[in-house]
Amino acid sequence: MIRGRQLPGGLTAGTDLCLPLALKVFYRNLLVFKKTWKANIMFNFVEPVLYLWAMGFGLGVYVSRINGLPYIDFLAPALIASSSMFSTTYEMTYDSFTRMAYKKTFHGMVATPVSLDDVVAGELLYGTFKGVLYGTVFLAVVAMFGLVKSPWALLVPLPLALMAMAFSILSMIWTSIAPNYDSFGYFFTLIITPMFLFSGVFFPVENLPPGVRLIPWFTPLYHAVEVIRSLVLGQVTRSLLADLAWLAIFILLTVRIPMVTVRKRLVQ
Amino acid sequence: MTCKTGDTVVLARGLIKRFGDFEAVRGINFEVRGGECFGLLGPNGAGKTSVVRMIYGFSPVTSGRLEVFGEDIGVKARSVKARIGVVSQEDNLDPELSVMENLLVYAGYFRINRDLAGERSREILEFMDLADKAGHVVESLSGGQKRRLTIGRALINRPDLMLLDEPTTGLDPYARHLVWQRLRKLKESGTTMILTTHYLEEASQLCDRLVIMNRGEVLEEGSPEELISRHVGREALELGSGAGLDQYLLEGMGELVKASRVLGEDLVIFTERGRELDRRISERAAELGIEIRRRGIRPANLEDVFLKLTGETLKGGREFTGGGSCD
């Protein structure tokens, strides 16, 4: 009974957030990342190349044109978004869970002036940073393949940041209620992989059956793919602002949830 | 900002902590004063960690009053936590970072500027005997070194109050003594400390005053010497035989027996005059035809106080595992 009352109470109450301290939490993760980034980035560099070859040059031979574009031109910008999504979600599930449940990093931090909301905010910022970084690396690979058609592509980090923040929030919520590592399998199988397959990365959502055609609109990945593809191809229209607004509103509506759920899990 | 000796640093009145239906802390009272090392002694599950977690605001108080530096931690969490150093039971260092980086990162959480943080970190490593490990990754440290680093990390903000939750649990005797040495030095320098432990030796070595806790309640309060002399006298006589020893042995011993407890097949008798009691018990045993296979006199300790108060040992069982040798 008491628990039932805490959740809505926590959501409406103001958060206990101090941005400079949230940045210290972010910095702590960044410092750890600096120890391993060479191996990680290399891995992240190789994967997109493999994807581009397999999907673009391999499969692309059998796909004539999509929306008047060679398949690889259609696919490559969307893979920037999905690659960013995966790096954020892995970080904010397996790695955050390790920090929270095994290394007790969160516990150590909240014994200082840092609040639990600061910790969650720092984690979300770090998840966002990773998504932007890995997405930008993919963008560089796409550019090396000569697939960037417009200087608008320089703006890609903006939609990447919004999308990565959205996925940081979603992942953190799951992490805060996950009983163990195995449960992340459900997160990826039920949420992340379907998004990857049906949010307009591999084919236009208009090709979906009429009954489900609207579903991608409710996913952050769909909107990020729309914006990034347009920027990379130089087909910039006003409708992109609606996609960016969708992502921004999604963040505003959900950002407090992981703060509440993490508190509910750790504070007893 | 520092506390004067004798000022009230932590005050608990009718403090209660409930987890669902389970009451972990059941209305306890205590007061910790500036400059002292205050112990919470009790077996696992006594509620010690719950008390510590409430003091640094990690765990909300269910009911009762808890003031830290005269403030309600629930209201002034950040400013109170800025003055506390916490050494938790489990190591929560950053294993991928170096020893020095661990201190610098932690200093950041207190918004201590980089120069000052560096200076203090070097001092701390020197003090904790870890100076030659500054550049080592934490993963490569031994258990005792990690503990010393955890304690050192809690000193980064020059705390007015240190909370040490089972600081030496899991360490080998040598590493434990190294930690105790450092804690004693901290105490000498005037740092107020609250220490939870289930090691009687730790409590008697370090604590000026302590409360004995069991099942969420405070059973007794005082200095280690006071508690021992009040409850069990100077010595403990342990007797063992194949069968259970009975209380008939104690008949007619009068004032000589301060208290006694049966533990499994052993009988433990607390007294001010061990030798005399031993002699008279032997005579009595011979009269009754009881064979005593094992006997030993040793100085009484806090474990005996706990045993007398609860009929249990600090390790949480009824098997007695304290000192005492056969002769």
- Which residues of A make CB contacts under 8 Å with B? 16, 18, 20-21, 24-25, 27-28, 31-32, 35-36, 103-105, 107-115, 267-268
Question: So what's the pLDDT on residue B320?
Answer: 42
Residue B73 belongs to a domain: yes
Q: Mean pLDDT over all residues of chain A?
A: 91
CA dist., res. A87 & res. B173, Å (int): 45
Domain containing residue B299: CATH number: 3.30.70.980
Domain containing residue B100: CATH number: 3.40.50.300
- Which residue in B19, B56, B108 is closest to A111 by CB distance? B56
| Percent of chain B whose predicted confidence (pLDDT) is above 70 | 93
* Residue B102 shares a structural domain with residue B121: yes
Considering only CB atoms, which chain A residues are within 8 Å of B108?
A: 24, 27-28
Yes or no, beta carbons of B105 and A104 under 8 Å apart: no
* Residue B233 shares a structural domain with residue B219: no
The pLDDT confidence band at residue A15, using thresholds 50, 70 and 90, is confident
Question: So what's the pLDDT on residue B286?
Answer: 86
Yes or no, beta carbons of B97 and A32 under 8 Å apart: yes
Question: So what's the pLDDT on residue A48?
Answer: 76
* Residue B209 shares a structural domain with residue B252: no
Question: So what's the pLDDT on residue B247?
Answer: 67
pLDDT digits (tens, 9 = 90+) for A38-81: 777 777 778 778 888 888 778 888 887 888 889 999 999 999 99
Residue B178 belongs to a domain: yes
Residue A208 belongs to a domain: yes
Mean pLDDT on A243-263: 96
CB pairs under 8 A between A and B: 71
pLDDT digits (tens, 9 = 90+) for A161-205: 999 999 999 999 999 999 999 999 999 999 999 999 999 999 999
Residue from B79, B80, B89, B92 whose CB has the most chain A CBs within 10 Å, to mutate: B92
Question: So what's the pLDDT on residue A194?
Answer: 95
**SS3 annotation, chain B:** CCCCCCCEEEEEEEEEEEECCEEEEEEEEEEEECCCEEEEECCCCCCHHHHHHHHCCCCCCCEEEEEECCEECCCCHHHHHCCEEEECCCCCCCCCCEHHHHHHHHHHHCCCCHHHHHHHHHHHHHHCCCHHHCCCEHHHCCHHHHHHHHHHHCCCCCCCEEEEECCCCCCCHHHHHHHHHHHHHHHHCCCEEEEEECCHHHHHHHCCEEEEEECCEEEEEECHHHHHHHHCCCEEEEEECCCCCCHHHHCCCHHHCCEEEEECCEEEEEECCHHHHHHHHHHHHHHHCCCCCEEEEEECCHHHHHHHHHCCCCCCCCCCCCCCCCC
Residue B1 belongs to a domain: no
* Residue B72 shares a structural domain with residue B218: yes
Report ipTM for this prediction.
0.88
Yes or no, beta carbons of B92 and A268 under 8 Å apart: no
Nearest chain A Cα to B108, which residue? Answer: A24
- Which residue in B82, B92, B157 is closest to A104 by CB distance? B92
Residue A58 lies in domain: 16-266
* Residue B22 shares a structural domain with residue B148: yes
Question: So what's the pLDDT on residue B327?
Answer: 30
pLDDT digits (tens, 9 = 90+) for B185-238: 999 998 999 999 988 889 999 999 999 999 999 999 999 999 999 988 889 998
Considering only CB atoms, which chain B residues are within 8 Å of A268?
A: 19, 59
Question: So what's the pLDDT on residue B249?
Answer: 79
- Tell me how many domains chain B contains: 2
Residue A8 belongs to a domain: no
* Residue B165 shares a structural domain with residue B255: no
pLDDT digits (tens, 9 = 90+) for B166-188: 999 888 999 899 999 999 999 99
